[in-house]
Homo-oligomer: A and B are copies of this chain.
Amino acid sequence: MVLYLIGLGLHDEKDVTIRGLEAIKGSERVYLEAYTSILGIGKERLESFYGKDIIVADRDMVETDSDAILKDADKVDVAFLVVGDPFGATTHADLLLRADDLEVPYVVIHNASVMNAVGALGLALYNYGQTVSIPFFTDSWRPDSWLERVRENARLGLHTLCLLDIKVKEQSEENLARGRKIYEPPRYMSVPCAISQLLSLLPPSPSASSSSSDDAAPASGVAPAADALDPSTTLAISASRVGHPSQTFVSGTLSELAALDEDAFGGPLHSFVIVGRTFHALERDFARRWAVDRDNWDRVSKEVYAVRD
């Protein structure tokens, strides 16, 4: 029979496709991949909607015990559910190559993921560069390779989708050392946290600490280089809970977004896009509707991004 990889989409039990739902209902066992993203609802609601028990598959199980998932999949259908699209956050190539070894065919049932649903911000998907993931900094670990990728995109005029860290099933150092399977509460990075980490990596600049429109224009009147990521003249658009009924978009300069309270963005998951210079008038108007300060949005669009009507 078949291993189905089924995307669940972005919010709740009704975001699965008709094709996906039929495959789930016909499957003997149903696994839910539970480490690369989260739905807005618990697995109980999925179980009652599907009329099926769900086995939660954590990273350990998928990476080290894929044969348990594939067991008998040559005789019965097995469904492997992934929030978003099955290939969104990770390709699951190990699992699928193992299925090939066991001569179990697989069928992918795609769905929306943040990688394409971010199109709802109104910036053309064609003009995005590579996507980055921003990890939580600690006192002793402040990785910054993602910032170079943001700069590479910016130099080409491209937008950057920034996905924010999720810590699920993390163990404290003490519990890890003692081999105790006690997990910390999940942590989800917010937009202000991510942007303040970003700003902490930038060299100090005269306008870096300012978000007012008077000070924001470079004194020389010369627009800063795109890859300088000047916080008061670099536009960004946040996207929280994309595809959920409560999704929230906020647009403004990096300084403006960093200064907002976390509540302005609501609950997890948060992401944001750093706007590249390919920005044009229709995109400006579309995202202006969510601007912290519409006048400043228009001013930076015109003076720094050179958007013309």
| Chain A residues within CB distance 8 Å of chain B | 7, 9-10, 13-19, 21-22, 85-88, 90-91, 93-94, 96-97, 100, 108, 110-113, 115-117, 119-120, 122-133, 152, 156, 158, 242-243, 282-283, 285-286, 289
Query: How far does the alpha carbon of A14 sit from the alpha carbon of B25 in the complex, in Å?
Result: 14
> Which residues from B are CB-within-8-Å of A117?
85, 87, 110
Give the residue of B86, B90, B116, B156 whose beta carbon is less than 8 angstroms from that of A110.
Answer: B116
A14-B9 in contact given A158-B130, A285-B97 (Cβ < 8 Å):
no
Do B93 and A283 have beta carbons less than 8 Å apart? yes
Listed A/B pairs (8) with beta-carbon separation below 8 Å: A10-B110, A13-B18, A17-B111, A18-B18, A110-B242, A115-B116, A126-B133, A129-B130
> Top 7 nearest A-B pairs by Cβ distance?
A87-B119, A110-B112, A116-B116, A14-B19, A14-B18, A110-B117, A115-B116
Tell me if A18 and B16 are in contact (CB < 8 A): yes
Q: Which residues of B contact A286 (CB under 8 A)?
A: 91, 93, 96-97
Of B15, B93, B100, which one neighbours A19 at CB under 8 angstroms? B15
Q: How far is the CA of A131 from the CA of B19 in the complex (A)?
A: 28
The complex places the Cα of A108 from the Cα of B18 at a distance, in Å, of: 18
**Which of B90, B123, B125 has a CB less than 8 Å from the CB of A115?**
B125
Q: Interface on chain A toward B: helix, strand, loop, or mixed SS?
A: mixed
Question: Is A130 a contact of B112 with CB atoms below 8 Å?
Answer: no
The CA-CA distance from A16 to B17 in the complex, in Å, is: 5
Task: Name which residue of chain B comes closest to A5, CB basis.
Answer: B120
Q: Are B128 and A130 in contact (CB under 8 A)?
A: yes
Q: Which of B22, B94, B116, B123 contacts A112, CB < 8 Å?
A: B116
B22 near A14 (CB under 8 angstroms)?
yes
Of A113, A123, A283, the most chain B CB neighbours within 10 A belong to A113
Q: Residue A91 contacts which of B91, B112, B122, B158 (CB distance < 8 angstroms)?
A: B122
